Amino acid sequence: MSQLPRPDTAELRAKYPGVFDRPASARLAMPTMIAAAFAIFVYGLVDLDFSPTKLISGMSQLGWIAMLMIPPNPGTSFPLYMQALGETLSIALLGTTLAALLALPVSLLAARNIIPSNLIRFPVRRFLDSIRGVDTLIWALVWINVVGLGPFAGVLAIMVSDFGAFGKLFSEAIEAADRKQVEGIRASGGNALHEIRFGLLPQVLPVIAGQVLYFIESNTRSATIIGIVGAGGIGLQLAEQIRVLEWQKVSFLILMILIAVAAIDFISSKLRFAIIGQRAVV
């Protein structure tokens, strides 16, 4: 066996002081951070009334509930649930479409390459940010106050909260668009509207369509929960059945949601590829 050359430790130490003699601050940074994170965690557990007895009794309750959920059984209300599911899908589709239609013109105002002046762009951006800062469920509560209980409030809630998200995403897509095509339109004598219509939109629309489809997908999930506060759809049924402890119906409803979400995922990913080709930019 050949022997590896024996390393000269002293020489190596002198050569790479950063590896052998790291300063105490660098060596202690990671353990300190972990300890601090753990300390906050423990403080949180105490402050939020965690106790082992509560945890164990809750777990056994949960076990009972899980046992009672099997087998999933809709009873006689299957047609009602299918209708509620249809309502949920409608809420997601309509809310997202309306949000996209409203957000498109506003996103032009928020894009740097369309409106160079900070004076308009900044307030528009902050406005969109604060709309996004409020959760969909809160918007649902507000709209229920306005148009009453029912799926229509859900549509409006999804519309408003997505309006904020779309405004931001669309304006980012517009800012990422290539300047050259717009310049080409201007060079051939087009006005500002022509520049947007023929230079910008053909580049931006496929990206936007991809994003809208993606949001329809994720809004199917949101639309299932806004029913919990009374804005229609399958969430309403789910919340009611949980409150009256009909666990077999609950598990059936959850199963329906899972299947519906998987189906929408599948369809929209197919459509997304069809629209934007193989360059899946989302």
Partner 1 sequence: MARPFLSTQLRTGLQAPMATAVSILPAQQLATLEGAYRKSVARKRSKAALATAAFCAVLVIAAFGAEVNLRTLFTYFGNFVSYFDRILTLDSGARVWTDPAEWFWGWHKWLKMLGETILISYVGTLTGAVLAFSLNFFAAQNTSPGPWVRFTVRRLLEFARTVPGIVFALIFVIAFGLGPMAGVLAIAIHTTGALGKLFAEIVENADMKPVEGIRSTGASWLSCMRFAVLPQVSAGYASYALLRFEINVREASVMGFVGAGGIGQELVVAIRKFYYSDVSAILITIIVTVFIIDISTGWLRGRLFGKETRR
CA dist., res. 215 & res. 209, Å (int)? 10
Residue 50 or 78 with smaller CB distance to partner 1:
50
Q: Helix, strand or coil for residue 215?
A: helix
Going by C-alpha positions, the residue among 213, 270, 263 that lies closest to residue 85 is: 263
Least distance in Å: CB of 11 to partner 1? 26
**CA-atom Rg of the chain in angstroms:** 28
Least distance in Å: CB of 68 to partner 1? 11
Residue 12 or 259 with smaller CB distance to partner 1:
259
Check if the beta carbon of residue 227 is closer than 8 Å to that of residue 152: no
Residue 115 or 228 with smaller CB distance to partner 1:
228
Give CA 114 to chain center in angstroms: 27
Residues that bind partner 1 (CB under 8 A): 37, 40-41, 43-45, 47-50, 54-55, 58-59, 61-62, 65, 86-87, 89-91, 93-94, 97, 129-130, 133-135, 137-138, 141-143, 145-148, 150-152, 154-156, 221-222, 224-225, 228-229, 232, 235, 238-239, 242, 245, 250, 254, 257-258, 261-262
Least distance in Å: CB of 10 to partner 1? 27
Residue 14 or 34 with smaller CB distance to partner 1:
34
Amino acid letter for position 215 = F
Least distance in Å: CB of 116 to partner 1? 25
Q: In 3-state terms, the chain is what percent helix, strand and coil (to 5)?
A: 80, 0, 20
Residue 25 or 145 with smaller CB distance to partner 1:
145
Q: What is the dihedral of CA 241, 242, 248, 250, to 10 degrees?
A: 80
